[in-house]
């Protein structure tokens, strides 16, 4: 029988005695008080032992023990003798122990107060007096840990020092007094950075360990405390004997059998910390793997003992092991798990807001949360990670005592992430200024705080001061700022004596500062000094058997700078070689890889005059950028990345053109890099039926990951209060796509066309013309028979930019003549050369239909009314087909993939509509009046006219009065075949996702691009947006994304949209709508939505021929099929 089973039997026996006693009382019999006292004391002590050795995290056994011992107190006669006083004091001591054990598990202030109250009642008891003093001192230290108030340390120290003087040298409580004194001094040394306190604490803890009894639990606590103190001194002195002895003491503890569950968890937690320190100094991979195994054992222990306050330390330790493992092995899932563990520790701490929250645990957990989120920002570039890192570091610094030795380190880490946000492209000027000012304020406070005792922390602090000086004056390119930064980096090198990573970091920053100095002074000696620092790093890495990968970007920058200054080809070739290593190395973050690939594109052209290698490098940069635009990002974060690299797709396509690439190669590059959000949405909505027929497991896994990514929040598989890392899901999504494409029959799965035949198939219904902008624009012309390129020398970026300015001026001044001039220029410089290359001369018999033509435009060309190009005054006067309207029926699409999807959708919807003709309906919505906007009095006439045309063949759902709300329109869109919205449209200049249609409740919940593109519109074949600027995106960096209201409807599944490029007139809109819907009628009067593009072309021609201003009719455009 085990000890635990014997203890349970004893408790059952005692419980039966108390039950019998209760029955005796009911029968009028009385048990002698002495027996009652003994029974209750024995029961209380027995249940307490079971509680202490068990894993009960609620208050079951502790409450039984407390009730039994309090009942025992009532059985003690009124104190009138030393014997009774002593007995009461002894019971109070036992009660204090129960509350103290509960305090260790719950951390509640009430338990600390109750334990202290009972211990004070026990002071003076002959047998337990000194042990009570030790426990009271321990509670004082615990109060300091929770509140950060130094007074508690001083009170505890005074208590225990007096007791040590009074206690006999052979007293059994002396080890506990020495331990309490040592632990208080250890805490004071951490607060003040005083090494003399630390040295004295170690001697006291060593003595307590030597004097301790052979009891298992005492042996564990004394030796574990000594091990932790020695480890603390090693991080300051960096004397290896301290570390070796710390390991030896821990091994002594681990060897003790039958430890308390709490002590088992503490041992594993501290063992993980020791292994981390060992790895950081000596870089033995075995230490890291052993630390991970220790973490696994720790998790098992935690599952059994889940609610003690120390659990937060344990979660944080596991997280730190995972974080360091990421740096060693480069696996992003380690970062994900690190975040989950540390976040769990933070959540546990903050759940205690109604009670105590350990300042030490909370500040350290927040500090590590800031570290791991900074690592994730460096890895993935998500602004959300940077924001959480800033918040965590800021809170950690704010609640750290400014006189604590750790304050300077935490404040400097906050300055580092503020500086990162200052450097980020997504930060506004006001935000950048605020970040620099906040960083300055924190650094001033840190300089007033005690210097960190650890050389590693001092080095990091010096590095951050160097960073700040450099960043604060970098804009002015001030050489004195660089010299000041150099001075601080040199100081960091002095401080970083043995800790490997910090020493490498100090040398690295010194090298970068020398490069900056060389750039400012055009000084080759400064570059040579930088080269010396790089060599030091390489030599040090060689000694540690580490690969010097982290310094490659600095090496590449150094060689590039030397090449630009000296013109020596060898330096350029060295830079190219290093850059290739960077973007082929899995350890580097994607942002760094993109920059390396772009730099190589420039260097290949400048150094080697190799246009083909230049094109390949830039194409690689674009592929890396697409991976960087991870599905783990929110939409807004994805757009931040797209903005940053908005010019890259056009640059890659032009590089391919200059390298002599064929149309297929150029189209593949161009297609991949534009309309990224649209492309992702289409990929997610593409059916996987064919894949499921042949690879069901892969198809099911792909759909499962898609669905998880589509949900806003997905919980971690272990920690339900922590969100699942979307970046890990995105990585899994990428991996499953690689597996699918490794199958020969699915190698083109959801990719741009890889054969000429597949490319030309996009033009079966009519040619597709892709305009690649540049100094000289290039048209990629795709027909069903062939594909070719056409240079447009008069249609370059500068000319298009000026043309856009002319449009804006013409619209603002209502200058029709200026608009006619612009349309003539578009005709001569772009439209006419394209039409002539296709043989579209415009001379046709009345029975002949105009050919179809699709435009895919980019850059400034997106802002120009290419569909309306021509000499319309001449065409209207003499009937000459000198306009695009007279020679072709034009439509727009953002990409070939979007066009193909729209055609497939249209075929499916038409087929479904024929099978279920009875359910065809039309949604009509008119906003005659709109809150805070001018009225649109003709909108009711417009929808009434449309209803009269379509009413014979469709059921009509019309909203005029009451005014339509977002809910009305959304519900209608889910069911209708045609949607016609006559209302105000509004473009958001800062965020295209917020561009919206103004309905009755727009102030509360608007129908915007973001909400539309998330919808699945199942039946709608046509959305006619009779509103202003529904095809406009004013963000220059997102022009190629198709993020406007018309694009959002198409992303939601509508294959045809009628939209507008600028403000339209309310009165003319009525006639355009009437002409358009009449034009959809076939020979028998049936409505054919597939004629949308042709019908709009005819309606616009009628206005043109009626000699209305192009400011009126050129705004209307068709997207889709």
Residue 913, token pair as written in the block: 């509509």
- Distance (Å, rounded) from C-alpha 224 to C-alpha 930? 73
In tens, the pLDDT along 742-768 reads 888 888 888 888 889 999 999 999 999
pLDDT at 297: 60
- Whose CA is closest to 970, among 1013, 1012, 928? 1012
Residue 595, token pair as written in the block: 């920059």
CB-side exposure of 368: number of CA atoms within 13 Å?
28
Beta bridge partners of 870: 883
Contacts of 518 (CB under 8 A, 6+ apart): 524, 525, 526, 527, 530, 561, 565
Residue 877, token pair as written in the block: 């006067």
- Whose CA is closest to 1078, among 920, 937, 987, 949? 949
Contacts of 503 (CB under 8 A, 6+ apart): 459, 493, 496, 497, 540
Strand order in the sheet with 1007-1008: 984-986, 996-998, 1007-1008
- Distance (Å, rounded) from C-alpha 904 to C-alpha 902? 5
pLDDT at 548: 52
pLDDT at 475: 53
Q: Rounded to whole angstroms, what are the CA distances from 1052 to 784, 992, 1005, 1019?
A: 28, 16, 19, 11
Domains and CATH numbers, the chain: 765-779+786-892 (no CATH), 918-1120 (3.40.50.1460)
Say what the pTM is.
0.76
pLDDT at 316: 77
Q: What is the largest CA-CA distance in the chain?
A: 128
pLDDT at 1044: 95
| 294-322: b (≥16 Cβ within 10 Å) or e | bbeebbebbeebeebbbbbbbbbbbbbbb
Say if residues 288 and 324 touch (Cβ distance below 8 Å): yes
Residue 320, token pair as written in the block: 């730190």
| 417-443: b (≥16 Cβ within 10 Å) or e | bbbbbbebebbeeeeeeebbebbeebb
Q: Rounded to whole angstroms, what are the CA distances from 745 to 566, 690, 748, 749, 759?
A: 52, 10, 8, 9, 18
pLDDT at 718: 47
Find where tokens 């940069």 sit: 621
pLDDT under 50 in the chain at which residues?
Answer: 1, 18, 21-31, 306-307, 353-354, 713-719, 721
The conformational region for residue 681 under phi > 0 = left, psi -120 to 50 = alpha, else beta, is alpha
Strand order in the sheet with 777-782: 787-792, 777-782, 768-772, 852-856, 889-892, 1116-1120, 1056-1060, 1022-1026, 978-982, 921-926, 955-959
Say if residues 232 and 207 touch (Cβ distance below 8 Å): no
Contacts of 504 (CB under 8 A, 6+ apart): 537, 540, 541, 550
Say if residues 827 and 867 touch (Cβ distance below 8 Å): no
First to last CA, the chain: 82
- Whose CA is closest to 1065, among 939, 946, 965, 948? 939
A 10 A CB-CB count for 942 gives 24
Say if residues 1013 and 983 touch (Cβ distance below 8 Å): no
Residue 439, token pair as written in the block: 């960083």
pLDDT at 617: 95
pLDDT at 717: 47
pLDDT at 29: 40
What is the radius of gyration, based on Cα positions, of the chain? Answer: 38
- Distance (Å, rounded) from C-alpha 708 to C-alpha 940? 43
User: DSSP assignment of 936-981, as one string?
Assistant: -TTHHHHHHHHHHHHTTTSEEEEE-SSPP-HHHHHHHHTT-SEEEE
1007-1008 and 996-998 beta bridge pairing: antiparallel
- Distance (Å, rounded) from C-alpha 958 to C-alpha 834? 43
Find where tokens 């260790």 sit: 104
């Amino acid at each position: 029988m085990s000890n635990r089973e014997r203890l349970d039997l004893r408790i059952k026996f005692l419980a039966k005695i108390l039950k019998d006693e209760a029955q005796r009382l009911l029968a009028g019999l009385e048990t002698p008080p002495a027996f009652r006292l003994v029974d209750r004391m024995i029961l209380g002590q027995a249940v307490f032992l079971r509680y202490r050795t068990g894993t009960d995290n609620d208050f079951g056994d502790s409450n039984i023990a407390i009730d039994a011992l309090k009942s025992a107190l009532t059985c003690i006669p009124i104190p009138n003798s030393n014997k009774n006083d002593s007995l009461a004091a002894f019971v109070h001591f036992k009660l204090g122990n129960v509350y103290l054990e509960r305090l260790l598990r719950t951390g509640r202030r009430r338990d600390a107060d109750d334990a202290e109250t009972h211990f004070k009642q026990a002071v003076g008891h002959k047998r337990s007096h000194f042990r009570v003093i030790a426990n009271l001192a321990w509670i004082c230290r615990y109060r300091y840990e929770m509140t950060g108030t130094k007074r508690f340390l001083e009170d505890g120290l005074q208590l225990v020092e007096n007791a040590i003087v009074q206690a006999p040298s052979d007293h059994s409580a002396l080890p506990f007094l020495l331990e309490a004194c040592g632990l208080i001094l250890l805490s004071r040394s951490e607060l003040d950075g005083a090494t003399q306190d630390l040295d004295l604490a170690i001697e006291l803890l060593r003595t307590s360990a030597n004097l301790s009894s052979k009891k298992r639990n005492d042996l564990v606590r004394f030796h574990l405390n000594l091990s932790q103190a020695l480890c603390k001194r090693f991080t300051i002195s960096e004397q290896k004997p301290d570390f070796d002895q710390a390991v030896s003491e821990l091994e002594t503890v681990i060897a003790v059998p039958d430890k308390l569950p709490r002590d088992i968890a503490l041992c594993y937690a501290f063992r993980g910390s020791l292994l981390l320190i060992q790895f950081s100094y000596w870089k033995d991979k075995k230490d890291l793997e052993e630390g991970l195994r220790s973490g696994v054992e720790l998790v098992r222990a935690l599952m059994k003992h889940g609610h003690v306050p120390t659990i937060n330390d344990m979660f944080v330790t596991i997280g730190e092991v995972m974080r360091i493992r990421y740096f060693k092995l480069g696996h992003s899932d380690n970062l994900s798990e690190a975040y989950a563990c540390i976040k769990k520790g933070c959540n546990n701490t903050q759940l205690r807001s109604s009670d105590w929250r350990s300042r030490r645990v909370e500040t350290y957990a927040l500090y590590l949360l800031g570290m791991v989120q900074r690592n994730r920002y460096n890895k993935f570039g998500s602004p959300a990670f940077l924001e959480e890192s800033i918040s965590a570091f800021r809170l950690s610094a704010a609640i750290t005592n400014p006189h604590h030795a750790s304050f300077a380190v935490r404040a400097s880490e906050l300055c580092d992430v503020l500086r990162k946000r200052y450097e980020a492209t997504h930060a506004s000027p006001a935000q950048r200024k605020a970040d620099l000012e906040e960083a300055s304020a924190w650094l001033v406070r840190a300089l007033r705080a005690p210097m960190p005792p650890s050389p590693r922390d001092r080095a990091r602090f010096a590095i951050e001061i160097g960073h700040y000086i450099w960043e604060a004056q970098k804009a002015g390119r001030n050489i004195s700022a660089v010299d000041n930064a150099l001075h601080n980096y040199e100081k960091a090198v002095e401080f970083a004596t043995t800790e490997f990573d910090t020493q490498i970091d100090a040398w690295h920053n010194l090298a970068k500062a020398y490069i900056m100095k060389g750039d400012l002074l055009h000084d080759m000696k400064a570059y040579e000094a930088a080269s010396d620092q790089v060599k030091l790093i390489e030599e040090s890495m060689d000694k540690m058997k580490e690969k010097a990968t982290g310094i490659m970007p600095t090496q590449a920058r150094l060689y590039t700078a030397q090449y630009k200054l000296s013109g020596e080809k060898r330096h350029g070739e060295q830079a190219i070689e290093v850059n290739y290593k960077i973007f082929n190395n899995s350890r580097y973050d994607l942002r760094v890889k993109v920059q390396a690939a772009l730099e190589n594109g420039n260097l290949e052209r400048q150094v080697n005059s190799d246009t083909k290698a230049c094109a390949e490098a830039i194409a690689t940069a674009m592929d890396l950028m697409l991976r960087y635009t991870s599905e783990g990002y929110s939409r807004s974060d994805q757009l931040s990345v797209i903005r940053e690299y908005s010019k890259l797709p056009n640059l890659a396509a032009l590089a391919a053109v200059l390298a002599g690439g064929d149309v297929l190669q150029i189209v593949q590059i161009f297609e991949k890099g534009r309309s990224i959000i649209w492309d992702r949405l289409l990929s997610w909505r593409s059916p996987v039926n064919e894949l499921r027929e042949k690879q069901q497991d892969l198809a099911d896994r792909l759909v499962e990951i898609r669905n998880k990514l589509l949900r806003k929040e997905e919980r971690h598989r272990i920690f339900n209060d922590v969100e699942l890392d979307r970046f890990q899901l995105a990585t899994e999504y990428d991996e499953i796509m690689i597996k699918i494409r490794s199958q020969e029959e699915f190698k083109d799965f959801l990719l741009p066309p890889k054969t000429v035949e597949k490319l030309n198939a996009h033009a079966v219904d009519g040619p597709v013309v892709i305009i690649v902008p540049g100094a000289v624009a290039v048209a990629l012309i795709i027909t069903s028979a062939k594909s070719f390129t056409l240079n447009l020398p008069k249609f370059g970026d500068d000319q298009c930019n000026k043309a856009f300015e002319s449009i804006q001026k013409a619209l603002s001044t209502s200058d029709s003549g200026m608009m006619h001039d612009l349309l003539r220029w578009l005709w001569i410089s772009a439209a006419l050369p394209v039409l002539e290359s296709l043989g579209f001369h415009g001379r046709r018999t009345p029975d002949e239909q105009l050919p179809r033509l699709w435009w895919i435009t980019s850059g400034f060309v997106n802002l120009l009314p290419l569909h309306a190009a021509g000499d319309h005054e001449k065409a209207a006067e003499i009937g000459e087909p000198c306009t695009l309207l007279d020679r072709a029926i034009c439509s727009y699409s953002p990409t070939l993939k979007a066009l193909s999807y729209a055609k497939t959708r249209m075929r499916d919807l038409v087929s479904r509509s024929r099978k279920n003709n009875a359910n065809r309906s039309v949604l009509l919505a008119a906003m005659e009046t709109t809150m805070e906007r001018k009225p649109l009095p003709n909108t009711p006439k417009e929808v009434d006219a449309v209803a009269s045309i379509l009413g014979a063949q469709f059921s009509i759902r019309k909203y005029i009065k009451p005014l339509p709300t977002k809910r009305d329109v959304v519900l209608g869109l889910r069911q209708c075949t045609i949607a016609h919205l006559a209302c105000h449209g509004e473009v958001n200049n800062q965020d295209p996702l917020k561009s919206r249609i103004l309905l009755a409740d727009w102030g509360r919940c608007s129908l915007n691009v973001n909400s539309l593109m998330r919808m699945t519109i199942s039946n709608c074949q046509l959305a006619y947006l009779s509103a202003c600027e529904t095809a406009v995106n004013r963000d220059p960096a997102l022009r190629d994304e198709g993020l406007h209201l018309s694009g959002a409807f198409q992303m939601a599944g509508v294959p045809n949209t009628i939209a507008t490029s600028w403000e339209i007139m309310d009165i003319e809109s009525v006639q355009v709508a009437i002409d358009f819907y009449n034009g959809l009628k076939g020979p028998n009067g049936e409505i054919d939505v597939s004629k949308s593009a042709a019908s709009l072309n005819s309606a616009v021609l009628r206005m043109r021929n009626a000699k209305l201003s192009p400011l009126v009719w050129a705004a209307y455009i068709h997207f889709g099929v």
